[in-house]
A = this chain, B = another copy of it.
């Protein structure tokens, strides 16, 4: 068999059964191999950033890597922004990049680029297969690398002759990597700090904000009086009834400093020390008090459940019931506001929904009003490269096997970066509901002008205005085969949500919001 087929077979043996693809000439043999080996679902994205973002969303929900299929250096380049986001989300992806044949590359044909240099900027593991006989081995190694706890991007560059030459060998899966061992000293230190009775924050990130870790953290909090917060950089949070009412460290430097001011100690559970997304003139770069002491309970590559369990036992923390979040909010009415949208969403979202949140500035208060919704998973943009929301939502729907409603809370400016996602939602009849927040501007940047101390004139404000010409998201969605309708009030929005949640396939609600 040829190298391409050995790769597809090896991926399948290793449990990778979904391929997000935007192939070109150099990937034709891989694509052809998909018909020779049963079991690989192939999902087409019409731009590579859609492809890579889907792979990120898939991993967050399926908990196992998919592979991508990208075309040469420039195809990889198109997908880098969402690979950047996936890297920050610590998602596992087997990122396959076809490339020039080994003997053709030195000729510097037009599409030739420094594929390895591009890949290195986002990859935790990188290898170029130079011969068909190596492709299976390298594929198995890539899957193993993608699974390195809690997940990373493993890029396999596949020259076209390594794909088409005979001599491919199917390889068995390599052992799944285990998390790095928890350091008993870090447990002891955390316990000591927690017993001292000062103001202590357990700052949770990564898998420490999923249900199992939440329950342990809550026990510790109840036993010691420690506070709990989620890192702003949180890719995937378990939320709703039965889960903790965790708030994230705020985005705004001023608010984050305010929120963290009272803590003498911050125990990091998979989190990094909290810093601003950006620097601002005259404001601190770090958000915690200068004399606060930071302690690492777990690094991101250690298992927070194990560590929190050890800590709870050491503290003899008794079982503690997760607090009831109170009454489920009701559908709101009248002109849209962020709070009304959050209430309406909480009132209507189906059980076990997935929320893909790229609402940017509009959605900073969504958490408060959605605690009392049914249990759901909330996915955030953590790398800051806007354009992740729709692809992540699309991949999440596939990662959930089409069995869960995925709701995008999607700002308009960000949506424009990867609107091609809508076509894939229609192609694969996915249960995606997009609530497109059309405020006709890059609203976050209007706020950022103030934060950086710049004074915008008309040209500057023109750079943030998406209102001339007006973008019609219903037309854009229709143009890509997705049903859509516009809502001017919360009643209209609620009606459309109800009808979309009740039927299969994607739908887009264009919610006209104020700037």
Interface residues of A in 433-477 (CB under 8 A from B): 444-445, 448-449, 451-460, 462-463, 466, 468-476
Ordered by A's residue number, 5 sampled pairs between the chains whose C-beta atoms are within 8 Å are A31-B460, A35-B459, A88-B110, A103-B279, A113-B122
Given contacts A104-B279, A118-B118, 19 further A-B contacts (CB under 8 A): A24-B445, A24-B448, A25-B278, A31-B456, A35-B456, A42-B459, A42-B463, A74-B84, A77-B121, A103-B279, A103-B285, A109-B384, A160-B452, A423-B469, A427-B469, A469-B482, A471-B480, A474-B479, A475-B476
Q: Is the CB of B463 within 8 A of A472?
A: no
- Chain B residue at minimal CB-CB distance from A444: B25
Contact count band on A: 35 or more
In angstroms, how far is the closest chain B Cβ from the Cβ of A291?
18
Q: Is the CB of B417 within 8 A of A46?
A: yes
In angstroms, how far is the closest chain B Cβ from the Cβ of A437?
16
- Chain B residue at minimal CB-CB distance from A458: B35
Give chain B residues whose Cβ lies under 8 Å from the Cβ of A73: 84, 121
Q: Is the CB of B111 within 8 A of A121?
A: no
Q: Is the CB of B25 within 8 A of A107?
A: no
Give chain B residues whose Cβ lies under 8 Å from the Cβ of A459: 31, 34-35, 40, 42
Give chain B residues whose Cβ lies under 8 Å from the Cβ of A84: 73-74, 77, 113
In angstroms, how far is the closest chain B Cβ from the Cβ of A432?
14
CB within 8 Å for A481 and B476 given contacts A26-B278, A44-B463, A118-B80: no
Give chain B residues whose Cβ lies under 8 Å from the Cβ of A448: 24-25, 28
6 closest pairs, A vs B, by CB?
Answer: A469-B481, A35-B457, A475-B479, A74-B385, A111-B384, A101-B279
CB within 8 Å for A383 and B120 given contacts A47-B416, A107-B275, A468-B427: no
In angstroms, how far is the closest chain B Cβ from the Cβ of A398?
15
